[in-house]
Structure formats: structure tokens, C-alpha cells
Structure 1
Amino acid sequence: MTWLITGGAGYIGAHVVRALREAGERAVVYDDLSTGLAERLPEGVPLVVGSTLDGERVRRALSGHAVTGVVHLAAKKQAGESMDRPLHYYRENVEGLRVLLDAVTAAGVPSFVFSSSAAVYGTPDTDLVTEETPCVPLSPYGETKLAGEWLVRAAGRATGLSTACLRYFNVAGAASPRLADTGVSNLIPMVFERLTDNAPPRIFGDDYPTPDGTCVRDYIHVVDLAEAHVAAARALSASPGRDLTLNIGRGEGVSVREMIDRVNAVTGYDRPPVVTPRRPGDPARVVASADRIATQLGWKARHDVQDMITSAWTGWTRLHPEAARA
């Protein structure tokens, strides 16, 4: 199989490329490099620079590399930003997906793995979120991911395209320092940035209906997430016509305050957080049930929160050596 990974030069995408290559699959990356880094890619992996909104360029990439499956990760992903720029998010995430699917189905590519998100659930009224939990997203970002799932499944029903929609929970960690998360939109690197700047970490609201008042999330190591993509990709290849919707999480909730305490312990900093107002679009608690993916694909997360923080910190201090001098 030859897999085209859109967004494959990004933080998550580069880990998926690595996992596919280690599994013996051929990978081709399609990325506009707006946030991705070409140096993340292994030697020998072709890179096509372009937007998923450019249908002709996508078509040339599919045919030129004899692509037999697509993993679609390219998207805008910040819930807060999407509240201010909903039209931008719908254009990039939904229209970009529509253009991509149009090219994929026209080319007869048989398999499509879609990067979705736990943001589709909104604030679920349940301890563990299953794939049957009602989807009521709180942000335009979450709406675009849910609309994307509808679009992927509709294309599958109409054309026979095998599809998998993977609902990521909160991704952290790194396989190596070179693949570390260089952005600061996720909690762990956001805390790292504050500590590096000799500033207290921030908690966005401590009045949520949770045990310590801060948001509770299910954190998944990016290496485990990448391996879930390999499992899904192989399942689609082995059983044409499949339609999968799967949570990717560990089933363990960690509050923002607890996570900051753990980061302080790993990094050697002892800097108490400050509380700031809530961010729009943040649900109180979202924790996965990962039973379905274990049953259907035999996948289970192997790494814990300590692994995530430690590996992320190693990558962060490679880029910011001054941060290690706590």
C-alpha cells in the first residue's frame, strides 16, 4: 500500500508517517507547510507541498505516486480560534476535505482514514464517552470535524470507499525530540512555554463541575495514536467496504491542575499556576471509552501520562535549552 498523509509534516502527521514506515507501508506526504516542518520527515519520504483546497494538485499527487490509501490530518485545530474565525475553519476543514474526497473518489483510491476529534462530543453528560454518545460540539472547530465525519461516511456509502473516522482525545508526547510538538496550543507545551519564560502556568477557569474545578481530559501519547492509524489503515485494506468510527484514548481522566502539578514535578520547576477566565468552547470533562477499538482492531494505548510529559520535555529542551536550567 502507498498512503498519502495530508498534514504529514505536522506534529501528529510526522508520527503517523513514522509508524506507517515502520509497519512496512510506503508513505507520501502532502502538506502546505503552514505549520508543518519538512525536516520532521524520514529520508526518502516524498513531500508534495500544497493545500487540500487545490484539487488539481491533489489529483496529480494521487496519480503521480500511485496512492492506494489516504490518511487525512491536514486541518485547522484550535477551538478558541475557531470561535473568532468560523468561516476560515469551515473553508479549511470542510471545503478542503470535500475537494480531497472528490479527487480521492475520482481516482478510485479505496481507503480513507479521517482525523476527527473528541471535540465532536461537546460536553457529554457521562463519565466515559462511547462512540454512541450524542455529538453536540461547542465550537466551530468541533462542528467542522463532525461535518467532516458526515462527509466521509456519505462518500463511502455512495462510492464504496472504505472509511475510518478516528476521534482523537488530547494528544501529547513525542517519539523522539526531533518530532516534538513545537506549537503551544496544547496544554503540555503551553505549560512548558510559561515555565521557560519564568511565568506561572495558566488555568483557564477553575469553576467547572469537576472534582478540583478544572477541566478534565483524556491524554493519549502520540506514538499510541500513530499506531492506531496503522491499525485502522490495515483494517480498511484487509476488509474493503468497512465504515469505522473509533475513539482514540486511554479511558483515564486527568485534570488541568493535576497535569500542571505533574509537569512541575518532571521539569523540576515548582511554579504554582494562576487562574484566568474560561476559554470559550472548552467542555468540562471529556474522557474516552476505548473499548470499541480494542475489540475491532486489537489496539490499546501503551504509554502513560508520565511517558507523555517526559518525552515532550526532552523535545522541548532540545529546542529551548535554557528551559532545562530549572
Structure 2
Amino acid sequence: MWMITGGAGFIGAHVVRAMTQGGQRVMVYDDLSTGSRDRVPDSVPLVVGSVLDGPRLDAAIREHGVTGVVHVAGKKQVGESVERPLHYYRENVTGLQTLLETMTANAVDRLVFSSSAAVYGMPDVDLVTEETDCRPLSPYGESKLVGEWLINAVSRAHGLRSAALRYFNVAGSATPELADTGVFNLIPMVFERLETGEAPRIFGDDYATPDGTCVRDYIHVEDIASAHLAAAVRLTRAAEGTALTLNVGRGEGSSVREMVDRILKVTDKQGVDPEVADRRPGDAARVVASADRVREELGWSAQYGLDDMIESAWEGWRHRHA
């Protein structure tokens, strides 16, 4: 049985869907602070609790016979982490520490960890590999990197088998009901501005990129979910102490202007001219994954393209605002 922390959230619910479709037995552990019960299928057990609550975690692991954990729960907004660093370290680092202590006490020895490309900061490289220096720019990125260090230490000391998945820019939805309800990423931010009659906003058009706007590696949330399934399967046959660190991206860069143009086409707003604003502090010109290692280790590669992400996100947006 796999316990999926944060399984009632946007990414977590997609992981639940992928793992159940892949034949894995799962249960969800979520405090419902940002997740929703409606995202959890009736056939999947749900325990409401915080990862900071050791006794609650212990009871859930024992009751459901948990043998592995996919840890998606955590706080993930970069800007908020700058304003509330203690909150982010408590939720993302102390919460992980509590989870690892409970897992170790119950001999649960498999962990798939949701990390982030935010651990890299502003890498000055064409493709970001897992060996690229990690210089996070926010408490959020720091908390994910510290989490990786902690997991690796537990793997060495206790034989934990782990995989840290460094997501790049997640977008899209498997179904309209599972769509992202936040407005923190590029695609929903453009949708929101279009809905209010405002022009999409591009932050900076003077970067050293082909069209002057930032270049990112966008990946469909269904691909993110399938990578978790592949990692979970890989860990079932891994040696004790295995600790994998893997980028999860398409290995292809797309500029902000290209994405906005595609969004305008999907939403039938081609006549709208984007508004260019000042650069945002901390935005790197280019952050694109090398996806070689995840393909070699897991036999995994992304299956969806940009239009799949935008069209599915648009269906979810319209469903939510119907």
C-alpha cells in the first residue's frame, strides 16, 4: 500500500489517478488546507491529518499497512515563502522530518519525494542536469533542497530507497474536475487576465533569448504523475539505500511569448496584444531540463505537448468558472 501525502491537491490527485490506473494500492493522507475531498475517489481511503502530526501519521501507516510513501504534501508558492520563511521550513522540512521518523519507526523503506527545479535557482546553462549547482533563490527552493539532503542522509543511515523528482513547470489537467484551482502559474494567470478583459502580462522582453522573454520547460501534470508511478515501481526492485535524484521535464524550452501566443489561439483571443511589464526579481533567462537520467533510470519520457497542456487547462478553467 502506498500512502500519498497531499493526494487531495492538484498534483497529488493526478498521482493518485496514475498509480491506481497502474495497478497500485493507494491511500491518501492530506490536511485539506489546499486540497479537496472531491479530488479523492470514493474507492481510495482518505485520512485527514498534517504531516507535522507524528501520532496521526503513525496510526495511518499502521491501519492501512503502508509500505511506501509518495510525499507530495507541502507549501509551494515562491513569493509566499519569501514572506513566510518559518512557515515554509516548518511545513516542508519539519513535516518531512516527522514523516521520515514515522516511516523509519514502522520500517517503511520506499519514498518518492516531490522536489522542484527551484533548487537550481538561476543556472547559467543551456540544459540543467542533476549535477548542475543548486543555488536556490527562495525559502521554498531551499526547503526542497534541504529535504533532499535529509532524505539522502536517511537513505545512507537506514537503507531507505528513495527518488527525488525535480519538477519543472507543471501545467494542464487530466480531467476538468482535477484542474489546478490556483492562479500562480503562467497559463492560469493569462486565463484570469483574459476573463477580466485585461491583456496578458509578460514580465520582461529583454532577456538574452530568441524573442527576449524567459524560456522554460513546461510539462503536463499527467506526465508528472506517470513519473511518480514509474519511480514507485523502480523502488520496489531497488537495492537498500538507493537514492535517485531525477529531473522531470520534457527537455524542450518554450518562451513566455510563445506560450502566450498559443494560449490566445486556444482561447480564440488572437487579436489581444500582450502587455510587457518590468522583469521580476529572480527570473532566470532560461531553465530547461536535461531529461536523460530519468529516461535511463525509469524508462520514462513525457508524452504530452504544449497544446495538450493549454487545451486541458482551458477546459478545467471553463469547468470551474461555468
Q: Sequence identity of aligned pairs in percent?
A: 66
What one-letter code is carried by the residue in structure 1 that aligns with 2:297?
A: Q
Q: Does 1:40 align with 2:39?
A: yes
Measure, in 1, the Cα distance between the counterparts of 2:101 and 2:135. Answer: 27
SS of the equivalent of 2:202 reads: strand
Measure, in 2, the Cα distance between the counterparts of 1:21 and 1:188. Answer: 28
Bigger Cα displacement from structure 2, 220-229 vs 197-206: 197-206
Alignment of 1:164-203 (within 5 A): 164-203=163-202
> Which residue number in structure 2 is paired with residue 140 of structure 1?
139
Q: Does 1:282 align with 2:273?
A: no
> Which residue number in structure 2 is paired with residue 312 of structure 1?
313
Q: Moved runs in structure 1, 4+ residues, more than 6 A?
A: none
SS of the equivalent of 2:146 reads: helix
Measure, in 1, the Cα distance between the counterparts of 2:283 and 2:28. Answer: 31
> Which residue number in structure 2 is paired with residue 157 of structure 1?
156
The root-mean-square deviation of aligned C-alpha atoms, in Å, is 1.1
Alignment of 1:103-142 (within 5 A): 103-142=102-141
> Which residue number in structure 2 is paired with residue 4 of structure 1?
3
CA offset at residue 240 of structure 1?
Answer: 3.4
Whether contact under 8 Å (2:164, 2:245) holds in the other structure is yes
CA offset at residue 275 of structure 1?
Answer: 2.3
Whether contact under 8 Å (1:80, 1:281) holds in the other structure is no
SS of the equivalent of 2:182 reads: coil
Deviations 1:107-152 (A, max 9, x none): 1101001000001111111111111111111111111111110011
What one-letter code is carried by the residue in structure 1 that aligns with 2:204?
A: G
SS of the equivalent of 2:212 reads: coil
SS of the equivalent of 1:175 reads: coil
CA offset at residue 198 of structure 1?
Answer: 1.3
Deviations 1:32-90 (A, max 9, x none): 11111110112211111111111111111111110010000111111122122111111
> Which residue number in structure 1 is paired with residue 251 of structure 2?
251
Measure, in 1, the Cα distance between the counterparts of 2:80 and 2:209. Answer: 25
What one-letter code is carried by the residue in structure 2 that aligns with 1:91?
A: R
> Which residue number in structure 1 is paired with residue 16 of structure 2?
17
> Which residue number in structure 2 is paired with residue 268 of structure 1?
268
Measure, in 2, the Cα distance between the counterparts of 1:308 and 1:66. Answer: 36
Measure, in 2, the Cα distance between the counterparts of 1:12 and 1:138. Answer: 23
Whether contact under 8 Å (1:111, 1:163) holds in the other structure is yes
> Which residue number in structure 2 is paired with residue 324 of structure 1?
none
Measure, in 2, the Cα distance between the counterparts of 1:98 and 1:152. Answer: 9
What one-letter code is carried by the residue in structure 1 that aligns with 2:47?
A: V
> Which residue number in structure 2 is paired with residue 218 of structure 1?
217
Whether contact under 8 Å (2:122, 2:282) holds in the other structure is no
What one-letter code is carried by the residue in structure 2 that aligns with 1:24?
A: G
What one-letter code is carried by the residue in structure 2 that aligns with 1:154?
A: A
Measure, in 2, the Cα distance between the counterparts of 1:155 and 1:216. Answer: 36
What one-letter code is carried by the residue in structure 1 that aligns with 2:157?
A: A
Against the structure 1 CA distance between its residues 34 and 151, is the aligned structure 2 distance closer, same or farther, given a 3 Å change threshold? same
Whether contact under 8 Å (1:131, 1:245) holds in the other structure is yes
SS of the equivalent of 1:5 reads: strand
Whether contact under 8 Å (1:6, 1:30) holds in the other structure is yes
Unpaired stretches in structure 1, ≥5 consecutive residues: 322-326
CA offset at residue 204 of structure 1?
Answer: 2.4
Q: Does 1:102 align with 2:101?
A: yes
Measure, in 1, the Cα distance between the counterparts of 2:293 and 2:269. Answer: 39
SS of the equivalent of 1:183 reads: coil
SS of the equivalent of 2:82 reads: helix
> Which residue number in structure 2 is paired with residue 61 of structure 1?
60
CA offset at residue 251 of structure 1?
Answer: 0.7
CA offset at residue 281 of structure 1?
Answer: 3.4
SS of the equivalent of 2:69 reads: strand
